[in-house]
Amino acid sequence: MRRPGNPADFGVGSATFFRWRWLAAVALAGLLAGCSLPSLEGRSQSKALPAAEARDTRLGRAVGVVTAQHPGLTGIHSLEDPREAFAARVQLAQHAERTLDVQYYIWRNDTTGHLLLEALHSAADRGVRVRLLLDDHGHAGLDEELASLDAHPNVEVRLFNPFLFRPFKPLGFLTDFSRANRRMHNKSLTADSVITIVGGRNVGDEYFGATDGVLFADLDVLAMGPAVEQVSSAFDAYWASASAYPIASLVTPPSAEALTAFRHRTALVERSEFAASYKQAVRDLPFYESLIRKDYSLVWAPAHLLVDDPSKGLALAEPEQLLLHHMTEAVGVPMRTLDLVSPYFVPTDAGTDYFVGLAVRGVRVRILTNSLAATDVLAVHSGYARHRQRLLAAGVVLYELKPDPTDRVVKAAPREDSRRMPGSSGSSGSSLHAKTFGVDTERVFVGSFNFDPRSARLNTELGLIIDSPELAAAMAQVFEVRVPRSSWEVRLDPESGALRWVDGIRQPLSVEPMSSWWQRAAVRLLELLPIDWML
């Protein structure tokens, strides 16, 4: 019996069948190339909650009491634990009274993704205005759910740099590569314009420790104080940008049956045993009560938002409008130490010159990135590997994360942009995902920025520079104690100059640990290709 869809059903051989499929895809791409995005004329306009109104909310009054004791400073609470990071987001949605401004690159169609969508929906039912801005590359399978949410009178959903052909978005890379290759990588959630969460986490089970396999122990910070106004202003700029399209102009409005099905699916998720532990985490987090009691654990420090201008999404930003330009100003020149964590570390020749220059001047530079065994994108590893010997020769200290460390500094993640080159897939084990650095044990950066050309030139990014010796010292301590236990240190053999991988337990290894010959061969081949600008 023939299976439906077998090429023989059409009276053609398999080679002919798949050739016609390819030609049909190319023809469809050609047709789509002649299409254009919908007009933004008539798009609604809105702004973040004005400061006076924000102060008059329940959250605003609670925050006002504690911030008054630290004028000009931003209160920072690190969200390292994935359950706490999830619960904090839900609690902000639960306690918001006027507005929720939410911006993410990835929003998974899974348990925590649905629970957070329902938290936004419940807030809207209470009268909270919800603005949800998502990159259109990171929410596969959620068009119907998002359109249903958008149908709520208090919710508006917009998509950044959207794809016209919804059933198969990758066609957009064929028809409009220059725009489609630029994604909004920002992550923030702001309640009543007085409290925000920013950092590296997207929304999905992996990011909140809800899976049985791959986990990301990422890093976010919850912030209150002057930096929140900057996050709100940045959200307004992205919301009103030429790249933000109302989902209603791209996706068919949901029918009554679709709305009913959406509520039914949400109810099933909420009743699941899997979801119960996350609901309990929300109940167990004493965030709001601690804020009222004024005993919530906060580090008070000057903090400043670094963010790309949204015009970067259309390749229209000037150099002085980019995060990287402002990062140079905010960080200054490290004088003593630079500790950097980057999952996709592709320094390029220019970046290598920078790190080498620091090391030559006596600055201790320590970098933690993925090992070949841990990375999920071999092309990215190739963009890093070609620079290792030069970095090490200058005195830079390189650590490469083991795929399944027992003392987990960070947990695993697939490459967020998921645009893997053919044959570039790497390990399915643990891989680094946090994005942070510390300078001179005086200040730290926490955000979405990867030290790679994609973050620098293509994707939009944001993060906080925090002038806190306390947080910077804590990061230095991680490099002193936890990183060496969870990673291989890469060194140069003093006699041959070849690379060696050392973990303090076994004899140094002369090949990349826990990697296969084909992975190593693929990396060497990819090193020959001029692809750094895409990584």
Whose tokens are 């699916």? That residue is 265
Token pair in block for residue 50: 């004005």
Of 402, 435, 452, 503, catalytic: 435
What is the three-class DSSP state of 306?
Answer: strand
Of 143, 150, 192, 205, catalytic: 192
Clarify whether 440 is annotated catalytic. Answer: yes
Query: For residues 153 and 78, what is the distance between their CA atoms, to the nearest angstrom?
Result: 34
Clarify whether 185 is annotated catalytic. Answer: yes
Gyration radius from the chain CA atoms: 24
CB 88 within 8 A of CB 79: yes
Q: Nearest 5°: phi and psi at 8?
A: -65, -25
Neighbours of 210 (CB within 10 A): 23
Of 77, 121, 139, 185, catalytic: 185
Of 77, 114, 137, 187, catalytic: 187
Query: For residues 294 and 64, what is the distance between their CA atoms, to the nearest angstrom?
Result: 11
Q: Nearest 5°: phi and psi at 43?
A: -60, 135
Clarify whether 435 is annotated catalytic. Answer: yes
Pick from 172, 175, 174, 151: nearest CA to 163? 172
Token pair in block for residue 433: 């995902």
List all residues 6 or more positions away from 472 whose beta carbon is below 8 Å from its beta carbon: 438, 439, 440, 441, 442, 443, 444
**CA distances to 18, 32, 161 from 29, in Å:** 16, 5, 17
Of 143, 339, 376, 440, catalytic: 440
How wide is the angle at C-alpha 161 spanned by C-alphas 155 and 165, nearest 5°?
95
Q: Residue 138, CB half-sphere, CA atoms under 13 Å: how many? A: 29
DSSP H or E stretch at residue 88? helix 82-95
The single-letter DSSP state of residue 451 is S
Clarify whether 433 is annotated catalytic. Answer: yes
Of 312, 433, 452, 532, catalytic: 433
Query: For residues 122 and 128, what is the distance between their CA atoms, to the nearest angstrom?
Result: 9
| Residues carrying an active site annotation | 185, 187, 192, 433, 435, 440
